[in-house]
Structure 1
Amino acid sequence: MRTIIDARNRWNNIFENHKSIESLKDVSCDDTLRSVLWRIFLLHPDADITPSTWMSRLRSERTAYAELRRHHLGDTDFEAEELDPLAEDESNPYHRHQRDLELRAEIVQDIERCMPENTFFREPSVQEDLTEILFVYCKLNRDVSYRQGFHEIAAVVYWVVVCDALADNTSGPGDSPYAGEGRAGPYVTTIAITNGDTDDTLMNGTQEGYESFEDPEDTVMKEVLDKRYINHDAFSLFQSIMRNAKAWYEVSEDGGKGGVGTIVKKSQYVHETLLVAVDPELAAHLTELDVLPQVFLIRWIRLLFCREFPFDQLLHVWDKIFSEDPDLQLVDLICVSMLLRIRWQLIEADYSTAMQLLLRYPSPPIPVNLIEDALYLRSNLNPSGGKYIIIKHSSRSPAAYQKKPPPQKQQRRPLSPTMNSLFQPGQIETIIQDAARNMIDRSEKWGVNRAVREAVVEVKKGIQGQQRIPQIPRRGTPGSPRPGSQGSQGSQGINLDNNRMQELEKKSKELEKKNKDLQMKLLEGGKGKEN
């Protein structure tokens, strides 16, 4: 928070030296009041920058937030019969209360781990204020409700408003941020001078509540920077940013089940349209590496680069974005300028190295220059514009990109005239007959037929020899079978051998017959086609 003297000097740097928004675009927020400039850029871009032209809207916004807070966070008195956990009606107060508890728990979980390196956001009062702001916003925007990432944008906005608030505002009764709620306006305090002492007196809420014997400019400044309305003003700024960023958090129409959401389409547009227009070689290289743009661009875009730059530098980036493009259309080209800055590192990278660069972006010394690059690309969206940015950051000029031809499908080569002559009418049949004859000749050459015939001859010889072997009876021994019985068993063995040999001979003949049949069919088939 600021002292009166510090705030007055910064206030004068804005309104005494500048009369238009264009002149404010080049003002350093480090020497002025960042929250006031953001309000002018985001909430009053078309109005006169003089506070008197937008003070009435400021009061209306604060009153509206107070009403929203009371409606959604006020004490709820339910009748006993209404608190029925078994009732299936979705409008049941019990179910609404449970959903609100779940929503708050989700918000608190993210806020507790928001910017862990900054001790300011570990303060319980800060976390409570951020929870309140986000809860009211989600209740007001039920179509999106809460999405992870809201807390980081709200945290930056809250920080800026707190830094510019007056540490000792003697114009108000105590520190209650909701003084006078329910009247015509939230401003209900004036300072009456009685015997040299200050006396806080409630009045009907208008800017008159801040009047005293001070400079009128100080009165307006104190009203704008009143610390009792930190949450009110932070909510107004956050809601203005989200008015354009809200679509980035919407899921696909089918609830994310295979559909393509707005943020994915936006990421593809950055890669496939904008980057291709200024650096087709880099775009093609990322495609070849199979680097999906949404993998890294979702975080860049949704968080407005919160995690890509140091916090103090991030504030400068937001200063420039809000002053040049409050609708946030420039964000796409900022992403392109960030890619062009590390262009050579990406060109030489494999998949893992490229992903590391994109997910842990190497912050430049002066990140705000990337917004200047984006503004240049907005007027020079072509390879020449991209080349200018690349040389600016690397002193290396990219070669003219030659698009690689797509891989061609293998096609059958056309037949030469010599080959065509072979396939004149009547020639197909000749080729088939020649193939059949060649098969027969090769069968004879390889000895297939001869081997079959020799196998049959050997089988026949074996059968005849087996039949001529005399049967010699064995000498009997004690306990051995009788001679008659032994002879009977020998004759049975011979019969079994004869049967096996006959079966083998039969199969050999069948094999030889099939071989001949095959040869004849090939010959007959060729003749039939020829006729």
Structure 2
Amino acid sequence: MNEELIPADHALDPQSFYTHILGKNFSTIRQAALSASLGKLRNRFISWRLFLGVLNETDSAEGWIQASRELRNEYHIMQESYKKVHVQDLDPLIFNPLSQSVENPWNSFYQDNELKQVIKNDIDRTFQERALFQKEETKEMMIRVLFTWSKNNPEISYRQGMNELLAVFFIVAVAEKFEKDDGIPEHAARILQELNDPTQTEADIYWMFTRLMALSVKELFLPVVVAKKKPINNLLSFEKSGYHNELVNTDKTNEASASVILKRSHRIHHRFLQALDKQLYMYIESQKIEPQIYLQRWVRCLLSREFNLSDTLVLWDSIFACAHIGEENRIEFFTGKLDFHKELVMLDFLCIAMIIFVRSFCIFYLVLQCDATGIMRRLLKFPPVEDVGILISMANSYKERILSGKGVTVPKIIHDMVEDDPLRASKPEPKASFIPLPSPKSIKLTDKIDTIIAILQEQSTL
């Protein structure tokens, strides 16, 4: 059964635009995003463009209009440039379907068609249950956006999952298209009509997607494992160390040869989780669970595969709201510098909140079953959350603890590296509370239950 194109509670609220956006109450807007209530303002489309830097908060409303016009014009020029081939300017000996020349435009033509087909295959599977995405107009628009972005970023090109990110932008844009002034002053209606012009949706979501990718998201789509070339000096020799990535129980956060998604996953697991919940970290480590197995899915698609659309919008509110807050990590020796202008740091802390949210289940399953399969199933299929605002609140708390250095345990690998660091002396390391687990095979069921109760009691004091 098809859903209606756009739920009524996602529609634009012009009065809220006049009060909050034109009134430049950006602190209120950002606070609403970080408290899971931005949806009530019903101005996500403009708020997200401001958060992502497509529009500049310091500009006037007329400045936003001018910037939007320039960006839209630039997009249309780019799109047209990929359509046209000036045949009259080409050498007929080269511009020939049978020519083997690398300069032959036909080669590019075939490659472009192949790329479009790959994109189309994924677009056809995107939100199939929603009437909006069954429309050919929608599909063609998304294909054009992703194709244009891919042509401008050939080092990454298109990767599966990008379609899902773009689809969320498209839903928000269509939901908040301007239709009537609803009692706001004429000048405000004119500005809103220009900013949320439904005829410019394609160009607007292209720039939102581009800004999102620029926040260290596009690199996340590179392969997890970067293959290493074996030296050719002796093909028959056997290197004991091997030429594969040692992923288990090894922190790859700062390893130059590791992929971006691997570094990000390991930063979340080996740095943040270990600092915030040493006990849970040790339990997961004891099962040799590779963090990138579940975190690459969470991080690449910004949690959109783990939650329904409504919850995804709320989570993205908080992720984007932190994109340009200008904070810097004040304990650089601990995590490496966190740059809120270059990556979506809030995403890391939401991942931590999700892991800790299923903490009891992970430890309970480990004690009773003594293997990692149940834990992996839970992480790969995250349970429904009645109110994702809880996760956002947890993530905000963890972010503040990491930035302040209070209530965290410095991971051993960092502890050893910075033993003489002057910053460390001023911040005594808190004592980690840890209940060691006996071997599950060596204890009786009643003892297992007692162990679980002790763990849950200990958790309630965290």
> TM-score when scaled to structure 2?
0.69
In structure 1, what is the equivalent of residue 165 of structure 2? 153
**Superposed displacement of residue 404, structure 1:** 8.8
Q: Which amino acid aligns with 1:37?
A: S
Verify: 1:333 aligned to 2:345, yes or no.
no
Give the SS at the match of 1:308: coil
In structure 2, what is the equivalent of residue 380 of structure 1? 401
In structure 1, what is the equivalent of residue 139 of structure 2? 127
The structure 2 residue matched to 1:401, chosen from 428, 434, 438, is 434
Deviation string, structure 1 residues 456-482 (Cα, Å, up to 9, x no partner): xxxxxxxxxxxxxxxxxxxxxxxxxxx
**Superposed displacement of residue 24, structure 1:** 1.6
In structure 2, what is the equivalent of residue 513 of structure 1? none
Q: Which amino acid aligns with 2:175?
A: C
| Cα distance in structure 2, aligned partners of 1:275 and 1:128 | 42
Q: Which amino acid aligns with 1:247?
A: E
Deviation string, structure 1 residues 330-349 (Cα, Å, up to 9, x no partner): 21111111111110101122
| Cα distance in structure 1, aligned partners of 2:432 and 2:221 | 38
In structure 2, what is the equivalent of residue 302 of structure 1? 300
Q: Which amino acid aligns with 1:61?
A: L
Deviation string, structure 1 residues 230-280 (Cα, Å, up to 9, x no partner): 101010111111111112112379558846311012111211111111112
In structure 2, what is the equivalent of residue 342 of structure 1? 358
**Superposed displacement of residue 81, structure 1:** 3.7
Give the SS at the match of 1:330: helix
Verify: 1:261 aligned to 2:267, yes or no.
no
Deviation string, structure 1 residues 268-299 (Cα, Å, up to 9, x no partner): 12111111111122112112222111110001
- For structure 2, the 5+ residue unaligned runs are 1-5, 33-37, 230-243, 246-257, 325-342, 366-370, 410-430, 439-462
Give the SS at the match of 1:380: helix
Give the SS at the match of 1:73: coil
**Superposed displacement of residue 378, structure 1:** 1.6
Verify: 1:286 aligned to 2:257, yes or no.
no
Q: Which amino acid aligns with 1:224?
A: L
| Cα distance in structure 1, aligned partners of 2:180 and 2:107 | 43
Question: Does the Cα contact within 8 Å between 1:82 and 1:94 map onto a contact in 2?
Answer: no
| Cα distance in structure 2, aligned partners of 1:76 and 1:44 | 33
**Superposed displacement of residue 148, structure 1:** 0.9
In structure 1, what is the equivalent of residue 71 of structure 2? 61
In structure 2, what is the equivalent of residue 216 of structure 1? 187
Give the SS at the match of 1:25: helix
Question: Does the Cα contact within 8 Å between 1:274 and 1:336 map onto a contact in 2?
Answer: yes
Equivalent runs, 1:125-204 vs 2, <5 Å: 125-167=137-179
| Cα distance in structure 2, aligned partners of 1:351 and 1:6 | 46
Give the SS at the match of 2:433: coil
Give the SS at the match of 1:401: coil
Question: Does the Cα contact within 8 Å between 1:337 and 1:370 map onto a contact in 2?
Answer: yes
Deviation string, structure 1 residues 20-45 (Cα, Å, up to 9, x no partner): 42122134333332101111111267
The alignment-based identity, stated in percent, is 24
Question: Does the Cα contact within 8 Å between 2:71 and 2:207 map onto a contact in 1?
Answer: yes
Q: 1:166 to 1:82 in 2, by over 3 A?
A: farther
**Superposed displacement of residue 403, structure 1:** 7.1
In structure 2, what is the equivalent of residue 441 of structure 1? none
Q: Which amino acid aligns with 2:57?
A: A
- For structure 1, the 5+ residue unaligned runs are 170-213, 387-397, 406-531
Q: 1:47 to 1:166 in 2, by over 3 A?
A: closer
Moved more, 126-135 or 27-36: 27-36
Q: 1:44 to 1:255 in 2, by over 3 A?
A: same
The structure 2 residue matched to 1:363, chosen from 358, 378, 384, is 384
| Cα distance in structure 2, aligned partners of 1:46 and 1:57 | 9
Question: Does the Cα contact within 8 Å between 1:20 and 1:49 map onto a contact in 2?
Answer: no
Query: Which protein has greater RCO, CA pairs closer than 8 Å, 6+ apart?
Result: 2
* Corresponding pairs, count: 347
Deviation string, structure 1 residues 404-435 (Cα, Å, up to 9, x no partner): 99xxxxxxxxxxxxxxxxxxxxxxxxxxxxxx
Question: Does the Cα contact within 8 Å between 1:321 and 1:371 map onto a contact in 2?
Answer: no
CA RMSD of aligned residues (A): 2.9
Deviation string, structure 1 residues 175-207 (Cα, Å, up to 9, x no partner): xxxxxxxxxxxxxxxxxxxxxxxxxxxxxxxxx
In structure 2, what is the equivalent of residue 35 of structure 1? 45
**Superposed displacement of residue 120, structure 1:** 1.9
Moved more, 224-233 or 73-82: 73-82
**Superposed displacement of residue 219, structure 1:** 1.5
Verify: 1:23 aligned to 2:49, yes or no.
no
In structure 2, what is the equivalent of residue 322 of structure 1? 320
In structure 2, what is the equivalent of residue 232 of structure 1? 203
Give the SS at the match of 2:31: coil
